[in-house]
Amino acid sequence: SGPFTILDQSVFHKRYLRKMRDLGEGHFGKVTLCMYDPNNDGTGEHVAVKALKHDGGGNQHECWLKEIDILKSLYHANIVKYKGCSGGKVVQLIMEFLPLGSLKEYIIGCKIGVPQCLLFAGQICQGMEYLQSKRYIHRDLAARNVLVENDNLVKIGDFGLTKHIPEEKEYYRVRDDGESPVFWYAVECLRESKFSFSSDVWSFGVTLYEILTRCDPAMNPPKKLTEMLGNAHGQMVVTALISLLERRKTLPCPKDCPHEVYMLMKQCWNVEPGQRPSFKSLIESIATIRQSYEG
């Protein structure tokens, strides 16, 4: 390197990445808090580093490189920032670190009011509207995958199941993998594995429910929906869940949730994908309700 070497901010040398603690695990990835400390004096910056858990062969490695490319192409206030990747055989994804962790943990810990719930909900819709403008479907929108920067800012933080929908197509068919988040899935995803922009809206409705229940474990979607299924067990859960959702039996209205917010959730859970609101219209509806709340 000479005097004119451009310090490429997006190259992180593995030898300067010091592992601090584990932050969480997704489908095939594991996220770790690291300090990038090239001066080796503890004054480095905190970064979130995501790596493949175990290269289970198949197309996992190419899916992993795809996920990195997707995040690298996204620039939005409500989407976690890509910082770079560490080279070598095992490619690690380096992202900004959000100190307050997942919305699920943050919300359980502190009793936030309806206006702040709606502020976060609106920001998630902004991030999702941007994602859809680039023809991506997220397929795993849930409170656990939203991260908190501060009391007034959340970002979508994991793109492990994100897929690109080609211009000429309306939806994306995916064979189920073991750990599908079925209680966040739209009925057409369960029935035909058909994922679309509208199925992300359904998952947003479930995420909005999580936010208004403050992620109360007693009210969480898997628990609540399983209770509503009676005692359907094993693979019967999906079949029973499909018939429950087709009979418009959905999650109940959370305590102290404004009626018009519950109506928004119900619209997101319309059995007909085409009848669900767009993220654009959700942004407007949520802002209107929030303003009426702030009086």
> So which residues are the catalytic ones?
140
Q: What is the 8-class DSSP label of residue 46?
A: E
**Per-residue binding letters, 155-194, with ligand 1K3 (x by CB under 6 A):** --xx------------------------------------
d(CA 269, CA 59): 32
Nearest to residue 139, comparing CAs of 199, 210, 62, 52?
A: 199
The CB-of-25 to ligand 1K3 minimum distance in angstroms stands at: 6
Token duo for residue 130: 């941007």
Structure tokens at 133: 């403008």
Q: Is 141 in the site for ligand 1K3 (CB under 6 A)?
A: no
Q: Which residues lie below 8 Å from residue 79, measured CB to CB, with a gap of 6+?
A: 71, 127, 130, 131, 155, 156
Q: Which is nearer to ligand 1K3, 50 or 194 (CB)?
A: 50
Within 63-92, which residues bind ligand 1K3 (CB under 6 A)?
80
Q: Cα angle at 40 between 20 and 26, to 5 degrees?
A: 25
- Please select the residue that binds ligand 1K3; options are 12, 28, 36, 97, rule is CB under 6 A: 97
Q: Is 147 in the site for ligand 1K3 (CB under 6 A)?
A: yes
User: What is the nearest approach in angstroms of ligand 1K3 to the Cβ of residue 185?
Assistant: 18
3-state helix, strand, coil split of the chain in percent (to 5) is: 40, 20, 40
Q: How many of the chain's residues bind ligand 1K3 (CB under 6 A)?
A: 17
143 near ligand 1K3, judged by CB under 6 A? no
Instruction: Select 101 or 115, whichever has its Cβ closest to ligand 1K3.
Output: 101
Q: Which helix (H) or strand (E) holds 204?
A: helix 197-212
- Interface with ligand 1K3 by CB under 6 A: which range of 100-108, 161-169, 229-237, 259-267? 100-108
Q: Which is nearer to ligand 1K3, 12 or 97 (CB)?
A: 97
- Return d(Cα 1, Cα 6) in angstroms, integer: 9
Compute the distance between CA of residue 287 and CA of residue 295 in angstroms, rounded to an integer.
Answer: 12
CB 126 → ligand 1K3: shortest distance, Å?
18
Shortest gap between Cβ of 269 and ligand 1K3 (angstroms)?
24
Q: Which residue from 95, 121, 141, 208 is in contact with ligand 1K3, where contact means CB under 6 A?
A: 95
Binding of ligand 1K3 by 101 (CB under 6 A):
yes
Q: Find the binding residues for ligand 1K3 in span 8-67 (CB under 6 A).
A: 23-26, 31, 48
Rounded Cα–Cα distance for residues 224 and 209 (Å): 11
End-to-end CA distance of the chain: 59
Q: Which residue is nearest to ligand 1K3 (CB)?
A: 24
| Contact (CB, 8 A) for 141 and 124 | yes
Q: What is the rounded CA–CA span in Å between residue 219 and residue 159?
A: 26
Minimum CB separation of residue 35 from ligand 1K3 in Å reads 14
Pair of tokens at residue 76: 């939005």
Residues that bind ligand 1K3 (CB under 6 A): 23-26, 31, 48, 80, 95, 97-99, 101-102, 105, 147, 157-158
